[in-house]
C-alpha cells in the first residue's frame, strides 16, 4: 500500500517537473528574435507577435515545404495553446495568465518557423550551387 502511494506521488511529481521544464524551454526559445521575413510570410503587421498570431504562424509553417526531412508538427504546443485558450475563456480570473502563455506559444512557434525558413533558404542556396 505504501509503495503504491509512493509510486503515485513520484509519478505526479515527475510529471509536474516535466511540465515545468517544458514550459521553461518554451519561454527560453520564445525570447529569441524573429525576423521580418516571417512577419511578412505570416502577414503579421504588428512589431510584436501576440497570442492572436498563433494560427497565422502555423498556417505559414504548413505552407512551407521542409527541405531537410521531417520537422515537428507543433502538436504539443498546439494542444497546450488550445487548453490554455479554453481555460482562459472558462475561468476569467486566469485570462491574463492565459494570454501571456498563449503569447509565449505564439513566439515559440514563430521562432521555430523562422528557423525552418532559414534552413530552407540555406538548403535551396546549397542546391543552386550544385
Q: Which of 27-31, 59-63, 71-75 shows the lowest mean pLDDT across its residues?
A: 71-75
Task: Yes or no: say if 103 and 49 are a contact pair by the CB < 8 Å rule.
Answer: yes
**Alpha-carbon gap, residue 56 to 108, rounded angstroms:** 13
pLDDT more than 90, % of the chain:
62
pLDDT of residue 119: 85
pLDDT more than 70, % of the chain:
95
Length of the chain: 130
Based on the structure, what is the number of domains in the chain?
Answer: 1
pLDDT in tens, 63-89: 887 766 556 668 899 999 999 999 999
Give the domain range for residue 105: 2-129
pLDDT of residue 98: 95
Amino acid at each position: 500500500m505504501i509503495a503504491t502511494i509512493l509510486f503515485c506521488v513520484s509519478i505526479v511529481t515527475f510529471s509536474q517537473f516535466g511540465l515545468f521544464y517544458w514550459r521553461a524551454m518554451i519561454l527560453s526559445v520564445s525570447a529569441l528574435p524573429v525576423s521580418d521575413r516571417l512577419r511578412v510570410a505570416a502577414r503579421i503587421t504588428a512589431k510584436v507577435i501576440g497570442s492572436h498570431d498563433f494560427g497565422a504562424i502555423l498556417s505559414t509553417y504548413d505552407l512551407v515545404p521542409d527541405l531537410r526531412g521531417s520537422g515537428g508538427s507543433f502538436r504539443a504546443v498546439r494542444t497546450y495553446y488550445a487548453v490554455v485558450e479554453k481555460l482562459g475563456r472558462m475561468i476569467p480570473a486566469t485570462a491574463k495568465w492565459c494570454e501571456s502563455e498563449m503569447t509565449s506559444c505564439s513566439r515559440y512557434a514563430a521562432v521555430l518557423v523562422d528557423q525552418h525558413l532559414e534552413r530552407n533558404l540555406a538548403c535551396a542556396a546549397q542546391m543552386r550551387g550544385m
